[in-house]
């Protein structure tokens, strides 16, 4: 009998960070887990990723925090600057944040984080299959099934659809499409000894916010490289053109920014770019024994750096509910999925809507920009009122969800 003939307790569709971290979470509970990945090998594309305390707390619970620390950088400050004049607007003391929440803020290469979870899955016996193209899902009262492109089927007690922004499983719940923000991201890295990196403090995460654009940079891999991300609103996208986000638009978008910001443009990967989409939030992620997870459920805009973190949280919360509902007869999957569904959609709705609002705030011009800057300049460095709801706890039950912050209107600003 081959391994494929042994029915797993859980099938996970998608071998990205969300799929692998969830596989590890469930395997830690003693479950037989099989991951179906469409690509010919497991891997991640991209550069840096930020891991806030709500994520590093989970990594510590998984026994993976020390490994993540060894692969990444623990920055000392997060700084916001105006991209037009270079002035510092606000900051967070990330070492004080570690004391407040008990866990660090890390930055790490996306491929390093993915590889860490891949190694963890192998250690606990997760079955990892590649070239598995899932084209359909179905469910009964006691099991779920996926159909593959070659006509085969796979069954399990539950199917976790971590199949990304263009999820097939999501169509079981809603007939919607990704929402274009008309923004596009360019990414790139340079070695720490490159002239571009020499004047950059690699211990800081810095964002330069400007009208219709922003620029982020921070150190990666123990300070061995500088990660840079340029994001801008595409006029071609707004005009409805198909070919949008092109390098000529990149250069034009940052023409009015500081020399330091502009000097990084030649060091981007200019032959590929990432168009930014999200989807409208869903209140229900469950269809029988099929559950959405990660970007299949809640693809965000990246402005508060919670996309991968939400997926990791999803898997951890699901694992906590499995632990509560596992007995000699197996897992009460209906109860575990209901518990997961009672808390995660509401939290992720907050993240998606806040990410959109934060992006609007970053990209203001004219008088609203001056009002924003005035409000940010008077903010106390040790004011955590706007991040406590996000970083302080990952709720397992709805009553544990922290209260949301109170927004401050731009009109409250006193400008010069």
Decide: 96 and 33 in contact? Cβ < 8 Å: no
- Coil vs helix vs strand at 124: coil
Helix 53-61 vs helix 307-324: crossing angle, to nearest 10: 40
What distance in Å separates the CA atoms of residue 266 and residue 249, rounded to the nearest whole number?
13
Q: What is the phi/psi pair of residue 122, to 5°? A: -65, -35
Q: Which of 103, 218, 230, 384 is catalytic?
A: 218
Decide: 98 and 106 in contact? Cβ < 8 Å: no
Integer distance in angstroms from the first to the last C-alpha of the chain?
A: 76
Our answer to whether residue 218 is catalytic in this structure is: yes
Q: What is the DSSP letter of 243?
A: S
Which of 296, 230, 224, 260 has the alpha carbon at shortest distance from 88? Answer: 260
Looking at the DSSP bridge assignments, the partners of residue 159 are 11, 290
Q: Starting at the earlier edge strand, list the strands of the sheet with 10-13.
A: 127-129, 33-36, 10-13, 158-161, 290-292, 286-287
| Pairing state between β 144-148 and 274-278 | unpaired
Decide: 4 and 16 in contact? Cβ < 8 Å: no
- Coil vs helix vs strand at 4: helix
Instruction: Give the residue numbers marked as catalytic.
Output: 218
């Amino acid at each position: 009998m081959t391994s494929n003939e042994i029915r797993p307790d859980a099938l996970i569709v998608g071998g990205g960070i969300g799929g692998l971290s969830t596989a590890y979470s469930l395997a830690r509970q003693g479950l037989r887990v099989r991951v179906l990945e469409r690509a010919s090998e497991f891997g991640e594309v991209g550069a840096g990723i930020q891991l806030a305390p709500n994520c590093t707390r989970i990594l510590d619970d998984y026994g993976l925090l020390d490994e993540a620390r060894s692969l990444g950088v623990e920055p000392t400050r997060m700084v916001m600057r105006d991209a037009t004049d270079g002035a510092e607007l606000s900051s967070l003391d990330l070492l004080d944040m570690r004391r407040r929440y008990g866990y660090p803020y890390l930055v790490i290469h996306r491929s390093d984080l993915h590889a860490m979870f891949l190694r963890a899955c192998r250690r606990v016996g997760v079955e990892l299959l590649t070239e598995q193209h899932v084209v359909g899902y179905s469910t009964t009262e006691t099991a779920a099934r996926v159909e593959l492109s070659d006509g085969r089927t796979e069954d399990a007690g539950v199917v976790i659809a971590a199949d990304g922004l263009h999820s097939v499983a999501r169509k079981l719940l809603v007939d919607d499409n990704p929402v274009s923000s008309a923004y596009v991201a360019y990414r790139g890295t340079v070695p720490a000894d490159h002239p571009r990196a020499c004047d950059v403090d690699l211990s800081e995460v810095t964002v330069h916010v400007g009208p219709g654009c922003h620029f982020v940079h921070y150190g990666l891999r123990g300070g061995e490289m500088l990660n840079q991300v340029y994001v801008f609103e595409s006029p071609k996208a707004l005009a409805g053109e198909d070919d949008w986000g092109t390098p000529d638009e990149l250069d034009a978008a940052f023409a009015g920014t500081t020399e330091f910001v502009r000097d990084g443009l030649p060091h981007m990967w200019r032959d590929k770019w990432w168009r930014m989409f999200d989807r409208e939030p869903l209140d229900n992620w469950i269809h029988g024994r099929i559950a959405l997870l990660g970007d299949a459920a809640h693809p965000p805009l990246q402005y508060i750096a919670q996309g991968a973190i939400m997926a990791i949280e999803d898997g951890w919360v699901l694992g906590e509910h499995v632990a509560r509902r596992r007995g000699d007869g197996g897992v009460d999957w209906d109860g575990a999925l209901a518990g997961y569904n009672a808390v995660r959609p509401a939290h992720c709705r907050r993240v998606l809507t806040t990410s959109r609002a934060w992006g609007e705030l970053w990209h203001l011009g004219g008088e609203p920009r001056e009002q924003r800057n005035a409000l940010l300049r008077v903010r106390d460095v040790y004011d955590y009122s706007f991040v406590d709801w996000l970083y302080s706890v990952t709720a397992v039950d709805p009553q544990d969800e922290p209260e949301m912050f109170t927004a401050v209107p731009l009109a409250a600003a006193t400008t010069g």
